Chains A and B, each alone.
Chain A
Amino acid sequence: MRYAIEIKNLNLYISDRHILKNVSMDIEPNTIHVIMGPSGSGKTTLLRVINRLIDLTPNIKVSGEVYVLGRNVFEIDPYTLRRDIGMVFQVPNPFPHMSIYWNIAIAARLNGVARNKRDLDEVVRWALEKAMLWDEVKDRLNKYPNELSGGQRQRLCLARALAMKPKILLLDEPTANIDPVNARKLEEAIVSLKNDVTIVMVTHSPHQAARVADSVTLIYDGAVVEQGAASRIFLHPSNEFTAKFLRGEI
């Protein structure tokens, strides 16, 4: 399979407002693809189409094709689709009623990654190490997420998503609500995951995109402005919008 994700001519309307305008995008496996753009340009909406979380929004009309791992997302059962895709949200949302251990273990058990206690322990440790949180919580796995800081909660959410052993990881502005030190740790963790998953990340910061991206799509007002290899776009943008975005003017 050439591309992990292929989007062809995607148009999305929410309550008759044209939110995504003829978006096309191809994402290669085991790369970090960043969707960047100013606030309100439709980046989060685009991300949510990939794992069909967009179904939770009422009054939507969609046309176009979206293929994830070769399958058309609109033709398969969304719950099955989501088992291959992990997601981390803008505001950290670990399950408050489950311990740190179980937040991760439930994702593993639900998706058949591990069943017995020993396997679950192993997956929990693996996921926390990949999310660079193991050292900070290894002595308090049975405590609850409300004892963790925002940055730690977000890494916990990353570990939870990883415990599914997904093939694709979607990140919706994951560092937007975290302090800079934790944000860097999270970025480091994300970059180190490239070999295990294909990553699609949304951000409104061109610098964050420059730090982590292999390839980039710039979305403005629901349409693709420019996309391609990160090294090219961050040095030689071919579009005035892109140049303005890089300068921080839009």
Chain B
Amino acid sequence: MLLIDELERLRSILLHMAEHTHKVMIKTSELFNESNTSVRESLWREIDEISSILDRIRREFVNEVLVFIARRQPLGKELLIAHTLISIAYDVYRISRYCREIARIDIMLTPESIASIKGASEMFRYAIKAVENALKDLVELKPVNERAILEIDNNVDTQYRALLKEVISREYVDRSTSLKVLIMRHIERIVDHANYIEDHLKLLT
């Protein structure tokens, strides 16, 4: 098989992983709007399952890319792509992990849900946009939406910092705020990883 063809095959596995991450994000966003407990429970189970599968796939994937590097000894752009595939695989996996953490908060809140936490849903929608942009660029292997993701990143960072400031300024913090901080932290990390994906793609040019 041609070197580029083998690389293409590996890339398609990564894109497959990315699709799963996207699915996890969508399911997580549904948690912000669903009130039915049993639906939320099944959502949680699916999110948990997909993210642990993604972990396993990621490890096998990284191994396959390493075998590719050892056997084919790529140079030039192909070497950079191989490195990028390994890096982005980690980012894609982490995004699904943070979604899982958010889902865990939701399930522990039962019968309440994270829908009750003000502003969280909106922030998560931004996160989805950032991740969708990053995954689109992954298909093209070009950092087209760099600017847009950076904007979202700044936005989310600002909100997160504002929230932290609020917590630091008080002696005691109420339950809802502390939950919001936790969720915001996860969202901030998700957007960071979307940004990292853009950075890795930038190295290819």
A180 on the B face (CB < 8 A): no
A151 on the B face (CB < 8 A): no
- Chain B, interface SS category: helix
User: Is the Cβ of A247 less than 8 Å from the Cβ of B78?
Assistant: yes
B116 on the A face (CB < 8 A): no
A/B interface sample: 27 pairs, CB < 8 A = A206-B75, A207-B73, A207-B75, A233-B76, A234-B75, A234-B79, A235-B75, A235-B76, A235-B79, A235-B80, A236-B76, A236-B80, A237-B76, A237-B77, A242-B76, A243-B76, A243-B77, A246-B74, A246-B76, A247-B2, A247-B3, A247-B74, A247-B76, A247-B78, A248-B3, A249-B2, A249-B3
Chain A positions within 8 Å of B3 at CB level: 247-249
Interface residues of A (CB under 8 A from B): 206-207, 210, 233-237, 242-243, 246-249
Chain A positions within 8 Å of B74 at CB level: 246-247
Chain B positions within 8 Å of A237 at CB level: 76-77
B11-28 at interface with A (beta carbon < 8 Å): none
Q: 5 additional contacts, CB 8 Å, given A207-B73, A237-B77, A247-B2?
A: A207-B75, A234-B75, A236-B76, A237-B76, A243-B76
A-B contacts, CB under 8 A, total: 34
Q: Which residue of B lies closest to A243 (CB)?
A: B76
For the complex, what is the distance from the CA of A234 to the CA of B78, rounded to whole Å? 10
User: Is the Cβ of A234 less than 8 Å from the Cβ of B76?
Assistant: yes
Pick from A206, A247, A249 the residue with the most CB of B within 10 Å: A247
Q: Which residue of A lies closest to B204 (CB)?
A: A236
Chain A positions within 8 Å of B108 at CB level: none
A244 to B: closest C-beta gap in Å: 9
B168 on the A face (CB < 8 A): no
B contact residues, range:
10 to 19
Chain B positions within 8 Å of A243 at CB level: 76-77
Chain A positions within 8 Å of B73 at CB level: 207
Pick from B4, B73, B75 the residue with the most CB of A within 10 Å: B75
B174 to A: closest C-beta gap in Å: 53
For the complex, what is the distance from the CA of A237 to the CA of B2, rounded to whole Å? 19
For the complex, what is the distance from the CA of A109 to the CA of B140, rounded to whole Å? 65
Pick from B76, B77, B79 the residue with the most CB of A within 10 Å: B76
For the complex, what is the distance from the CA of A247 to the CA of B81, rounded to whole Å? 13
B74-133 at interface with A (beta carbon < 8 Å): 74-80
Q: Which residue of A lies closest to B7 (CB)?
A: A247
Q: Which residue of B lies closest to A209 (CB)?
A: B75
For the complex, what is the distance from the CA of A242 to the CA of B75, rounded to whole Å? 10
Chain A positions within 8 Å of B4 at CB level: 247
Pick from A206, A233, A248 the residue with the most CB of B within 10 Å: A248
For the complex, what is the distance from the CA of A207 to the CA of B79, rounded to whole Å? 13
For the complex, what is the distance from the CA of A205 to the CA of B3, rounded to whole Å? 16
A171 to B: closest C-beta gap in Å: 21
Chain B positions within 8 Å of A207 at CB level: 73, 75
A39 to B: closest C-beta gap in Å: 19
Q: Which residue of A lies closest to B75 (CB)?
A: A246
For the complex, what is the distance from the CA of A210 to the CA of B76, rounded to whole Å? 11
A194 to B: closest C-beta gap in Å: 22
For the complex, what is the distance from the CA of A220 to the CA of B79, rounded to whole Å? 22
Chain A positions within 8 Å of B79 at CB level: 234-235
Chain A positions within 8 Å of B75 at CB level: 206-207, 210, 234-235, 246-247
